[in-house]
Amino acid sequence: MNINNERQVPTEPRALARGRSSAWRHTPTAAAAIALFLAPTAFSTACGDEQGSTDAAPDRDDAELADVPNDAPDTLLDAPEDAPDEETAPDTGDVPPDADDGTAVDIWHPSPGTSWQWQLTALPIDQSFDVAMYDIDLFEVPQETIDALHTDGRIVICYFSAGSWEDWRDDAASFPPSSLGNELDGWPDERWLDTRDATVRALMMDRLDLAAAKSCDGVEPDNVDGYANDPGFPLTAATQLDYNRFLATEARARGLSVGLKNDLDQIPDLLADFDWALDEECFQWDECDLLLPFIDAGKAVFQVEYGDAALADTICPQANALDFDTLIKNLDLDAWQIPCRP
């Protein structure tokens, strides 16, 4: 998402647009869509306190398996050394220690109950939230903000799109024209990427290098479910698994924690490869049960539903019962939030 207002702000619920793993791009499973039509879920009771400013899918057919390319370059980088002090940081799960002796830092493995904030627009970042983790844009947020968050003991996760080409990014001209596919539905300034392409993968490694250089503690790669959409390429479940594992392996090689963004159908295959999950609108699509393997493995599920403050009354009791770390957010992902956990 462009924080400098160079792209349009979404005007409809992201769930109505196929693609971006954020309401920000999500395609519900076929079973979830049927369940929504036949049996809407009723919720009850309120939870959480409002924080921040007051501004206010079609069935998927199994694709035929295709050969997965093995020509992606291999590059490893030393892990970042800067990390919050365990004595002053909020409860952040497993916090990477300093590595002044040159040894690799431990990767952050958050457990359920980790507080967080997700802000991708309306800069500057509102640093007033007393949370363990901030999820912010890799490109748009300046280094001094990341440093300030670390000084305050926060874990910093850096967002970037790993499955779509965004026309405003600094490296946009580096993507081969042959790697650019169909527009993302509802997002005319983005196009699906051919994630089998070696140049695309090399550019993603450059982005991971940038995350390490900026001392991000982890990354949130978005749009990692292109095979389940209409990308314009013969992407399959097999090519998606290969690409997502590539991202996770390269992130961890740099000492970066990595989260699986949506892609719920592939959780059984990817659970061991990712350190946490970030989901959008699983309550909207009645598919939250697909995220429970992360909870069972002791890995945090950072979850978001889009709407106003009243939505907390219906969502939060359900989210807390599942041990999710759920926020109610505006669709444009500004600073405003209502956390479901007290």
In order, the DSSP letters of 192-206 are EE-TT-HHHHHHHHH
Three-state SS sequence of 44-59: CCCCCCCECCCCCCCC
* Confidence class for position 342, pLDDT limits 50, 70, 90: confident
Residue 180 parent element (H or E): strand 180-184
- Please give the Cα distance from 216 to 133 (Å, whole number): 11
Residues 6+ apart with CB under 8 A from 65: 236, 237, 238
- Please give the Cα distance from 36 to 34 (Å, whole number): 5
Q: Give percent above pLDDT 70 in the chain.
A: 69
CATH number of the structural domain spanning residue 289: 3.20.20.70
Packing angle between helix 237-253 and helix 198-213, nearest 10 degrees? 30
- Domain with 80, as residue range(s), is 14-56+72-339
24 to 53, 141, 184, 261, 329: CA distances (angstroms): 20, 19, 11, 10, 12
**186-225 as b/e: b if 16+ CB within 10 A:** bbebbbbbbbbbeebbebbbebbebbbebbbbbbbbbbbb
Would 61 be classed as within a structural domain?
A: no
- Please give the Cα distance from 271 to 121 (Å, whole number): 29
Ramachandran angles phi, psi of 328, nearest 5°: -95, 125
In 3D space, the residue among 104, 50, 81, 103 whose CA is nearest the CA of residue 329 turns out to be 50
Would 200 be classed as within a structural domain?
A: yes
Query: Are 164 and 19 within 8 A, CB to CB?
Result: yes
The DSSP symbol for 23 reads T
Would 102 be classed as within a structural domain?
A: yes
- Please give the Cα distance from 287 to 262 (Å, whole number): 11
pLDDT reported for residue 93: 52
- Selected residue with higher pLDDT from 19 and 117: 117
User: Does the pLDDT of residue 13 top 70, yes or no?
Assistant: no
Mean pLDDT of 165-183: 97
Identity at 55, one-letter amino acid code = D
Would 284 be classed as within a structural domain?
A: yes
Mean pLDDT of 164-175: 97
- Selected residue with higher pLDDT from 121 and 41: 121
- Please give the Cα distance from 328 to 27 (Å, whole number): 19
- Which three-class secondary structure state does DSSP give residue 187? strand
The DSSP symbol for 94 reads B
Query: Are 290 and 267 within 8 A, CB to CB?
Result: yes
Would 8 be classed as within a structural domain?
A: no
| pTM of this structure | 0.75
Q: pLDDT for 212-271, tens place per residue?
A: 999 999 999 999 999 999 999 999 999 999 999 999 999 999 999 999 999 999 999 999
Checking DSSP bridges between strand 218-222 and strand 155-161, what pairing results, if any?
Answer: parallel
Would 2 be classed as within a structural domain?
A: no
Beta bridge partners of 328: 305, 338
Mean pLDDT of 175-190: 96
* Confidence class for position 210, pLDDT limits 50, 70, 90: very high
* Confidence class for position 127, pLDDT limits 50, 70, 90: very high
Q: Looking at the 3D structure of the chain, how many domains does it have? A: 1
User: Does the pLDDT of residue 43 top 90, yes or no?
Assistant: no
Would 208 be classed as within a structural domain?
A: yes
Ramachandran angles phi, psi of 192, nearest 5°: -65, 150
User: Does the pLDDT of residue 319 top 60, yes or no?
Assistant: yes
Would 65 be classed as within a structural domain?
A: no
Residues 6+ apart with CB under 8 A from 169: 139
* Confidence class for position 100, pLDDT limits 50, 70, 90: very low
- Which three-class secondary structure state does DSSP give residue 146? helix
The token duo for 329 is: 């957010």
